Amino acid sequence: MGLRVAVVGSGPAGFYAAGQLLSADPPFEVDLFERLPTPWGLVRLGVAPDHPNIKVVSRVFEKIAARPGFRFFGNVEVGRHVAHDELAALYDAVIYAFGAEADRRMGIPGEDLPGSWPATAFVAWYNGHPDYQALDFDLSCERAVVVGNGNVAIDVARMLALTEPELATTDATDRAIEAIVGSGIREILVLGRRGPVQAAFTNPELVELTELAGADLLVDPADLELDPASERACEGDAMAERNLAVLRDVAAEARTRKRRSIRLRFLTSPVAILGHDRVEAVEVARNRLEETPEGRLVAVSSAERETIPCGIVLRSVGYTGTPLPGLPFDEARGVIPNAGGRVLGTDGRPLPGVYCAGWIKRGPTGVIGTNKKDAAETTGLVLADAAAGTLGPRSQRDVTELLASRGARIVDYRGWEAIDEAERARGEPQSRPRVKLCSWDELLETAST
Ligand code: FAD
Ligand code: NAP
């Protein structure tokens, strides 16, 4: 009898782990559990709709799903329909790859005022995540503020700036396209708490901001003057050097010809979000950089303050993981405590047969491909433990019996394919890759056709 593994979460980490186990010698059987009726995690519901080439990685996942020994259990939430200890009893090993879906908090006054949103919600909304479709983003204001200097902040700023022709061929939801195209926003202000050298965004994403049809990129040359420590940090850091070169070109041009602008400001942090019933402004502090004893440059707020009127704030300061009942959790880091992917119990020792991969293992950083190597580290340990005979034993019951007894309405891979076909068919006449089904009812109905 072959070994059977449960993988929880069907994003890149879950799919790569599944693929590696299905092609092991001898192959494992893999059951992939996903709380949504649709697979692919952030490849479907995070990656920006105007980046269709990135989503092509889903073809790799389709090939993995076609391998013998693979089963998909969509619309099954581990921790709700089935508990960790139940999975552990039914499988030789369990790999948790359920991502990091919550938003990191900034901890400033006014953070929860209406109109102040985590970027996590905005991204999920424009991408058609069924849990986020009831949200109402008021884009009628003239200035939006995006906090953070990562690639998600750049995605959010760019999405707000796209024109109808740029959006019309994407798989963003119709509602999001309508809201963005019809929005009153003239300026999208992106605030980085540190300097341009410390920005986390990558060069192609920055360059893309210089090529938008309907928005100019603006940077104040004074914001690009480096302190000596940043000068040193920049030398030999190819990404920082390239970013700085682009930013200096942009600053030298200083154009405002298009309908909208994206303005990047550095060394600036919101210290409060202001407003009576909703966001009316952000109060920002000017920062300077200080070197820690470990050599890291951190932002330290000065006494200099400024109030910037705005109508919406999108806080893009990172994602964070949330605990799953019955599993250990490192609250400070927002990850499952682990050693290379072996989940560690409260005594610091590995829990036999329990593993993790992806963002819930290492935290919310890294591109899609990073999860392949990360999953390989984890599945390497599964293989080693299988060879050492430390996996199992498992019960002979099949999980479907248990799920049926819980009333779970499973969306199997065929069900997902029905959704996929329906979405592609809706997209085709409009030259769009797909028009997503984005309500739970539509998704579940279509899956059962
Ligand atoms: P996820 O992709 O988040 O997958 C986790 C899955 O687990 C989800 O499907 C979720 O529904 C499911 N799940 C959660 N809880 C449960 C549960 N209890 N039971 C069952 N299932 C559960 N990388 C790039 O290379 N290019 C890009 O353009 C790019 N754009 C990005 C844009 C955004 C907005 C974000 C946030 C990230 C982007 N990334 C990009 C990074 C990339 O998406 C991540 O590295 C990758 O998705 C992380 O994979 P994961 O499998 O760990 O998590
Ligand atoms: P990220 O890269 O970690 O960036 C988070 C940003 O938030 C950093 O600039 C950070 O600044 C800032 N920040 C954190 N706390 C803050 C605070 N309290 N106040 C102000 N700023 C604060 O995270 P991300 O943008 O969420 O992206 C997650 C991962 O997905 C990244 O690895 C990213 O590359 C990847 N991704 C890739 C693409 C792509 O390839 N196109 C697109 C989207 C996402 P400090 O540096 O000062 O901490």
**Gap from CA of 247 to ligand 2 centroid (Å):** 18
- Ligand 2: which of 54, 56, 108, 149 to mutate, judged by most atoms within 8 Å of the beta carbon? 149
What are residue 118's phi and psi, to 5 degrees? -75, 145
pLDDT of residue 396: 84
Integer Cα distance of 10 and 23 in angstroms: 17
Binding-site residues, ligand 2, Cβ < 6 A: 106, 147-153, 155, 193-194, 198, 200, 205, 269, 316-319, 364-367
pLDDT digits (tens, 9 = 90+) for 130-156: 999 999 999 999 999 999 999 999 999
Contacts of 375 (CB under 8 A, 6+ apart): 12, 13, 14, 16, 17, 20, 97, 357, 358
| pLDDT above 80 for 256 | no
**Gap from CA of 325 to ligand 1 centroid (Å):** 20
User: Hey, what amino acid is at 25?
Assistant: D
User: Which run of H or of E encompasses 55?
Assistant: helix 52-55
234-244: b (≥16 Cβ within 10 Å) or e: beeeeebeebb
Q: Is 9 in the pocket of ligand 1 (CB under 6 A)?
A: yes
Q: Is 47 in the pocket of ligand 1 (CB under 6 A)?
A: yes
pLDDT digits (tens, 9 = 90+) for 50-89: 999 999 999 999 999 999 999 999 999 999 999 999 999 9
- Angle of the 174-181 helix axis to the 119-126 helix axis, nearest 10: 110
| pLDDT above 70 for 299 | yes
Strands (E), 235-394: 260-265, 268-274, 281-291, 297-309, 312-315, 319-320, 338-339, 342-344, 350-356
User: Which run of H or of E encompasses 87?
Assistant: helix 84-90
pLDDT digits (tens, 9 = 90+) for 409-419: 999 999 999 99
Q: Is 367 in the pocket of ligand 1 (CB under 6 A)?
A: yes
Integer Cα distance of 189 and 59 in angstroms: 36
Place of tokens 């929005």: 183
Strands (E), 176-296: 187-191, 215-219, 260-265, 268-274, 281-291
Closest CA to 140 of 178, 185, 189, 188: 185
Residue nearest (by alpha carbon) to ligand 1 atom 36: 46
pLDDT of residue 139: 98
Place of tokens 């008021």: 138
Q: Is 12 in the pocket of ligand 1 (CB under 6 A)?
A: yes
Of 26-30, 255-259, 405-409, least confident by mean pLDDT is 255-259
Instruction: At 211, list the tokens.
Output: 């090529």
* pTM score: 0.98
**Gap from CA of 40 to ligand 1 centroid (Å):** 7
| pLDDT above 90 for 48 | yes
- pLDDT band at residue 325 under the 50/70/90 scheme: very high
Q: Is 57 in the pocket of ligand 1 (CB under 6 A)?
A: no
Integer Cα distance of 270 and 193 in angstroms: 8
Q: Count CB neighbours of 5 within 10 A.
A: 27
270-303: b (≥16 Cβ within 10 Å) or e: bebbbbeeebbbbbbbebebeeeeeeebebebee
CB 99 within 8 A of CB 11: yes
Share of the chain above pLDDT 90, in %: 96
What would the mean pLDDT of 85-104 be, rounded to a whole number?
97
pLDDT digits (tens, 9 = 90+) for 367-394: 999 999 999 999 999 999 999 999 978 8
**Closest ligand (CA of 205):** 2
**Gap from CA of 11 to ligand 1 centroid (Å):** 5
**Gap from CA of 201 to ligand 2 centroid (Å):** 7
Q: What is the mean pLDDT of the chain?
A: 97
pLDDT of residue 322: 98
Residue nearest (by alpha carbon) to ligand 1 atom 28: 47
| pLDDT above 90 for 402 | yes
**Gap from CA of 150 to ligand 2 centroid (Å):** 3
- pLDDT band at residue 255 under the 50/70/90 scheme: confident
CB 412 within 8 A of CB 72: yes
Integer Cα distance of 421 and 436 in angstroms: 10
**Closest ligand (CA of 33):** 1
pLDDT of residue 250: 96
Integer Cα distance of 321 and 343 in angstroms: 15
What are residue 382's phi and psi, to 5 degrees? -60, -45
| pLDDT above 90 for 171 | yes
**Gap from CA of 391 to ligand 1 centroid (Å):** 28
pLDDT of residue 394: 86
**Gap from CA of 433 to ligand 2 centroid (Å):** 28
Residue nearest (by alpha carbon) to ligand 1 atom 8: 41
Q: Count CB neighbours of 181 within 10 A.
A: 16
CB 226 within 8 A of CB 234: yes
pLDDT of residue 1: 63
pLDDT digits (tens, 9 = 90+) for 333-356: 999 999 999 999 999 999 999 999
Atom of ligand 2 nearest to the CA of 106: 18
What would the mean pLDDT of 394-420 be, rounded to a whole number?
95
Residue nearest (by alpha carbon) to ligand 1 atom 34: 46
- pLDDT band at residue 98 under the 50/70/90 scheme: very high
